[in-house]
Amino acid sequence: MKDVLSAQQNRFSTRKFQDKPLSNFELETLETAALNAPTAMNRQELRFSFVQNQDILSQINQKVYQDMEDRDPEAYRDFLKRMAERGTDSVFYGAPLVVMISGTPDQYSAVNAGIAVQNLALAAESLGLGSCIIGMIRVCFQPQDKDNLLALIGAEKDNVFHISIAIGYKATEKEPHSYNYDNIIHLY
């Protein structure tokens, strides 16, 4: 396993995964990483749906495509082009596991979900797995949409979707992003 600083420095968004399921050890390690994420006031309000069912992922993928086409046809064409350039038609890039994070709608849960998804990304990297944090699927889980897919991922009726992360064995390599030190502000 890699230490946390190496995992941070070497991680990149994986957009092509091998068709290989994760081991029980890897799944249990990722579950622990999700549950290890701190939450404001230790509320532990987040729910983690570990989705390996490709039919469920396909339904979500189809709803994303349909929503994109209905909402903004020009953006949809750009989206299709970007996906074709990446060699996929799945917003999950063929990942064998997608963890969907939902929770009660309060002032802290979105931040808590961000912390949890980073825990998962670093845990995946430390296990030698790839990951890609995916927020665009939130269109499938809007509470005002009577056809939302919250029940499909086992979320409670009053929960809101926050973010997801695709995880699996990497089928591609690339350099991690470069650093922009102009984003660091020192105050003495």
**Predicted pLDDT of residue 16:** 94
Is the separation of the CB atoms in 166 and 15 below 8 Å?
Answer: no
pTM of the model: 0.92
Residues 6+ apart with CB under 8 A from 63: 139, 140, 149
Determine the angle formed by the axes of helices 109-126 and 24-36, rounding to 10 degrees: 150
C-alpha to C-alpha distance for 72 and 17, rounded to whole angstroms = 29
From the centroid of its chain, how far is CA 42? 22
pLDDT in tens, 60-91: 999 999 988 888 888 888 988 988 998 898 99
Max CA distance (Å), the chain: 55
pLDDT-derived band at 3, boundaries 50, 70, 90: confident
Residue 94: how many CB atoms within 10 A of its CB? 19
Sheet of 97-103, strand order: 46-51, 97-103, 160-168, 130-134
